[in-house]
Amino acid sequence: MPDGFRPYLRVRASSPQTPINDQLKTRMQLVMAKRYNAQTKALDMSSFHTDPDFRGIFCGIFRSHVMSAAIEIMEKNIPDLVALNLNNNNIASMEAFKNAHTRLPNLRILHLADNRIPTATHLIALRHVPLIELVLKNNGLCGRYKDHAHYVREIQRKFPKLKKLDGEELTP
């Protein structure tokens, strides 16, 4: 450089921004319809961003505004949803679920394995959802307890109706 200083470039890796528009919502709705099992009332959104129908569009539901759009689609099109699989989506925040108990009133089963949920406090948005089954394995919060029994007690305390945690039946 003419002034004797070297340029300093700082590059951060991040996922692309995802503007919510009608095209994205339509594509999300099509993918969700394909992944919905009407017999079990279950929606499999695991690894959602990798679905081939999103070719050319990044749809990372780990972003709260994208998850909010997904919940809006569920609310309008799958109001009787009972089970939701969100495994492997890099989710760190459940903020989009703060009104899930009214928007998805039948939701009882939630799979959140292989995400990035750091602490049980991040699950507070789900506190009014009467979950009976919850899968949290392979999230940061799982390793924050002194032993497995303490982890189970803490999660049960947050979700008193829980009957199954990480695939294991719970005792009342």
Global model pTM greater than 0.75: yes
CATH of domain 22-169: 3.80.10.10
What is the pLDDT at residue 34?
98
pLDDT in tens, 58-106: 999 999 999 999 999 999 999 999 999 999 999 999 999 999 999 999 9
Residue range 120-159, pLDDT digits in tens:
999 999 999 999 999 999 999 999 999 999 999 999 999 9
Contacts of 129 (CB under 8 A, 6+ apart): 97, 100, 101, 104, 107, 110
**Which residue type does 82 have?**
V
Question: Integer distance in angstroms from the first to the last C-alpha of the chain?
Answer: 70
64-77 helix and 22-35 helix, angle to the nearest 10 degrees: 60
Contact present, 32 and 70 (Cβ < 8 Å): yes
